[in-house]
Amino acid sequence: MALQLWETLKEAITVYTGLSPATFFAGLGLGLAIYYVLSALFGSSDRHHERTARGLQEEMQPMPPVQVGEISEEELKAYDGSDPKKPLFMAIKGQIYDVSQSRMFYGPGGPYALFAGKDASKALAKMSFEDKDLTGDISDLGPFELDALQDWEYKFMSKYVKVGTVKKTVPVTEGSSTGEPAAETDREVEKPAENDPSEHTANGTAESTSGADADKE
């Protein structure tokens, strides 16, 4: 029975393909080999691309916000994006926000990179890119600039996480130290009074007058 089936199959191969059974099976085997080779190549390539895409997604995921508390402006500069292992910070009106998710804008090479690691309140209010405006001092801003700054602050509050504040520096002015110099000044003022030449002159005149009256007597 099996032999009859084999003979029938060989006749069918010859009739329908025009090939001998040996040539047909050789071609079939070669086709299967090529199929497995291509499947292995493209399958591994797809898996490689999948792993690469997954790795890129993991790298692009923002780091969890790090609370830094109250830091100085000098310490804030360390978060300007120059160190990829650190988050990207920016401050508005003394409030520090983590802008790492917008690294393409505030990171190195971004259009607003010079604002990162600084309190750029004045620059944002004036939409200025000059170094002199990269400061948190907004005392000389006008009402329209203050309104613009308020809009920026609302935007940052709604989009980014606040992670700290900028430590305020108190300017040292003359006369703001202890009262000792003032006391010394008072003593210096009093000294000329003790050695006032007019007093000595008056005393000398009085003594001379007393001596003259004694001679007359």
**What is the residue extent of each domain of the chain?**
1-43, 63-166
User: Given this model, what pLDDT does residue 182 score?
Assistant: 45
HEC assignment per residue over the chain:
CHHHHHHHHHHHHHHHHCCCHHHHHHHHHHHHHHHHHHHHHHHHHHHHHHHHHHHHHHHHCCCCCCCCEEECHHHHHHHCCCCCCCCCEEEECCEEEECHHHHHHHCCCCCCHHHCCCECHHHHHHCCCCHHHCCCCCCCCCHHHHHHHHHHHHHHHHHCEEEEEECCCCCCCCCCCCCHHHHHHHHHHHHHHHCCHHHHHHHHHHHHHHHHHHHHC
Q: What is the dihedral of CA 191, 194, 198, 201, to 10 degrees?
A: -140
User: What does the pLDDT profile of the chain (217 residues) look like in tens digits?
Assistant: 666 665 676 666 576 666 676 776 676 677 777 777 777 766 555 555 565 555 545 445 555 667 889 999 999 999 999 998 899 999 999 999 999 999 999 999 999 999 999 999 999 999 999 999 999 999 999 999 999 999 999 999 999 999 999 998 755 444 444 444 444 444 444 444 445 444 444 445 444 444 444 444 4
Q: The pTM is what?
A: 0.52
Q: What local confidence, expressed as pLDDT, does residue 208 receive?
A: 46
**63-166 CATH:** 3.10.120.10
